[in-house]
Structure formats: structure tokens, C-alpha cells
Amino acid sequence: MDAGTLWDEFEAKTREIRDLIAVSDLLQWDQETYMPPRGEAARARHLSLLKSRTHAALCDERLGRLLDDVRPRDDAERATVRLVRRERDRAVKVPARLVKELAETQGHAVEHWKRARAAKRFEDFRPWLARLVALRREQADCIGHAGERYDALLEAYEPGMTVARLQQVLGRLRDGLVPLVAQIAARPAPRTDFLHADAWDVDAQWLVCLDVIRAMGFDFEAGRLDRSVHPFSVGMVPSDVRLTTRLRRDDGASALFSALHEAGHGLYEQGLPAEGTWVGTAASMGLHESQSRLWENFVGRSRAFWTHWFPKLRERFPHALAGVGPEEWWQAVNCVRPSLVRVDADEATYNLHILARFELELDLLRGTLDVADLPAAWNAKYERYLGLRPPDDAVGVMQDIHWAWGELGYFPTYSLGNVYAATLVKAMEKAVPGMWKSVAAGDLLPVRDWLRARIHSRGHLVDSEELVRSVTGSVLDERDLLAYLREKYLSK
């Protein structure tokens, strides 16, 4: 068989695997948005079937032989072979039985999490989380690791990252942030009462979210925005990207900043190359989170952004914003104060939320923390890092959907994303001197276009740290983030 025919066969097999993953993602999106409650059992079965088929396709012996025999002709093909081999090497170590059981458990766990969260009773969710943790431990042991199960799971989200390195990065962030937060907290707090008045019409909030996302350059012919219990996004392919946000009448900022965050993910997905192929995926979830955090915070919480958008917001909400000026609004949405809920946390305290989750996940996987003791351990972490104690499990240990999905190892990518975002913005400001003037005029496309050319369009040709280094000249370094926060919050 000639080289071209071999490559065609290899490409067809790998594209089929990507399509199976896309269909699984679509079913999970539907489960979080439109699936009726009684669809739980069938959905768990459907997801189990699809993920089992995906696993079988990765483990297929013919694919293994093709990986050895194909001769890639360019950088994209070489990257594809490298990525598929890495994914297959992990898959063949995990038994089909475990893949099926994990998928079924995830499908049920999400629905039990929703109900337990609404009832504020962790005990109702505990058996499902305990099962997911046990399955993830088993999966990590099957894949193999050098002493830390967490490393095996983290690799799926952030290739090349390890617990040892994470502890260094997060430890330095903690050491820089704790005194910084204390310095900011010692200053007079801005007024924020109007943000939480029962005056924020949810339909008007929805329209604002659509306007902002459209201005960011999100293509609604290739995506949509919906509502969910927990904001998230998923891209099946660049031509079909789904975002969600959540709306609350007593919160004037949460929906918009969640929409900015998820649209940052969505723009990355829509800008990826080679639809349906392995190289047409994000380089890592840390880099993915850099896009969402960049739009949510570096752009969305900037003075320039609100120069244009605050007058439009006041038109939509004249009652809620009566007597509130643009500077007062900007101060309010940038208020730094320890809080209980991660997705509503300010820029300076956010990584302390992540540190708590990382440490808890590490203990769960090591077996030094039992799931039954997780709520108490969570509360203790929050008291230690944020000086707060959750009043109930809904705003405590069950506030995030990630553990219901079994996504142990994901949370640190948010902090890695914050670090990458600061470095990318620093490079963007040098490369596009008029960037902030454009943002102040309501033109957000220069930001989108710079990111698309340098990050989105390159897909997974190289891993995330190498890609960021090629764009900025910097490695993963928390100093840019700390410098940005000090300049923003302590310079005046």
C-alpha cells in the first residue's frame, strides 16, 4: 500500500474517533440544557455506548499499525501522529469495562448533583462522587504514574504538567496573592449594593450577553448561547460551538461575565483549524482557560471596555443603575473581597479558590481524604485561604459541576490559564498599540483577530507552553499575572 493510501486510511480512522467524541460532547451539552429529567437513565447508557466505541476505536490494532507505518509529510501531519499516538498509548492501558462504567456513572452523577445541589444536601450526591473518585483512581493506576495518580489524570488536560510543577506555580501564586489581597482589603471598599438588588431583569440581561458576545466576533451561524445550572461551553467542531450562562435577577454582573468567559472559549473553538481532526483541537485546557479568563477579566473588567458598554447597560437597566456612574460601576465589578463562589470571584482571590480544589483533589486521589469528609475539608480550606465558611453545601462543596462530570485534574488549568492570559495580554499590548482605544470605542475585533492568528489558528501543532513561548518569548511564569494585579489594584 502506497504512502498516500496509508495516510488516507489513517486520517479516516482518526476523523471517525473525533466524530464520536463530538457526538458525546453534544449529548452532554443537551443533558445540561434541554434534556428532560427522566432522560437520565437513557442518556447514561447512550454516553457509555459512545465512549466505549471511542475507546475501542483508539485501541484498534489496525490503528496501532498505521501509526507505525504512516509517513507524515508536513508539520500538521507530524503533530497528528504524535497526538493520536499519545492518546492511544493512554487508552490501551485502560480496560473497556472501566471506560463503560465510568461513562455510565458520569451520566447518572450529573443528575444527582443537580438535585442534591438544589436540596443543599451533599449526602445525596456523596455515593456517586465516591464512585467517580474510585474509578478515577483505578484509571490513573491503569495509565501509570510515578507516585502521583494526579499526574496521570492531569496529563489529559495539560500535557506535560505534573503535580510537582503545579505545586511550585500555585505555591508562588499563593505567596504573592495572600499579602496582595490583604493590602487591597485594607483599602476602602467600593459600593456594590446595586449589583445585588432585585432589579436585574433576566430577559434584558440575556440581550446584553448576546450583544457583547456578538461584538467579540462570536459567529452565531456557527454557535449558540443557552442557559444552564452552571455556565460551560463545548465545541463539537468549529462550525458548531455551544455556550451557556446562568441568569439571576439579583445579580447584575454574573451572567455577563460568565458569558464573556464562555465566549472566550467559544472563539477559540471557532478559530481552530482542520475541522474534525486531532490537530484541530486546543493545545491544552490551560491554554483554553487563558482565552476565557483573558476576555472575562483583562478585557471585560477593564476601564476601556466599560467606556463603551456602561452607557448601553444603563439604557437596559435604568432602575437598577439609577444614580450609578461609570467609575462607580467599574469599581464595583473590580471589587476585591474574599467570596464563597469561584465563578463570581474577583481576579485577585480567584486562584485561592483553585488552590483549595487542587489540594482537595490531590488528597482524594492519594486516598488521604475520604469523600464523606469532603464537605468539612472544603470548609476548612475556605476558612484558611479566604477566611469564609460556606453556610451550606450548595455554595460550598457542590458549587461546581466538574466533580459530577468526574473531571478530577481540571481545576488547576484555570490558574494556568490566568498565568498564560497575563503573558499573552502583555505581548498583545506591545504588538497592537491601539488595542485599548479600539476596546474603548466598542471594537473588540482587534483582540479576537490577534488571538486567532497566534493561538486559535495553530490548533495543537505544538503543546501549550511551546506555543505561548513562540508568541510571547516567555515560559509559564506567574510574575506577569502578579505584576498586572499589583498595577491594577495598588497603583492608586
Report the alpha-carbon distance of residue 334 to residue 345 in Å, rounded: 10
CA angle (21 as vertex; 209, 140 as ends), nearest 5: 105
Q: How does 129-148 read in b/e, with b if 16+ C-beta sit within 10 Å? A: bebbbebbbbbbeebebeeb
Contact predicate 485/180, CB 8 Å: yes
Q: Which of 335, 330, 331, 329 is nearest to 347 (CA)?
A: 335
The packing angle between helices 96-119 and 122-143, to 10°, is 160
> Is 262 part of the annotated catalytic residue set?
yes
Report the alpha-carbon distance of residue 280 to residue 80 in Å, rounded: 9
Binning the chain into helix, strand and coil, the percentages to the nearest 5 are 65, 5, 30
Active-site choice (40, 111, 262, 269): 262
Q: Which of 436, 367, 451, 437 is nearest to 408 (CA)?
A: 367
Element (H, E) at 225: strand 223-227
Residue carrying C-alpha cell 487591597: 184
Report the alpha-carbon distance of residue 46 to residue 107 in Å, rounded: 9
Report the alpha-carbon distance of residue 18 to residue 274 in Å, rounded: 12
Report the alpha-carbon distance of residue 136 to residue 208 in Å, rounded: 40
Q: How many CB atoms lie within 10 A of CB 387?
A: 10
Contact predicate 199/323, CB 8 Å: no
Contact predicate 350/418, CB 8 Å: yes
- 436: helix, coil or strand? helix
Residues annotated as catalytic are 262
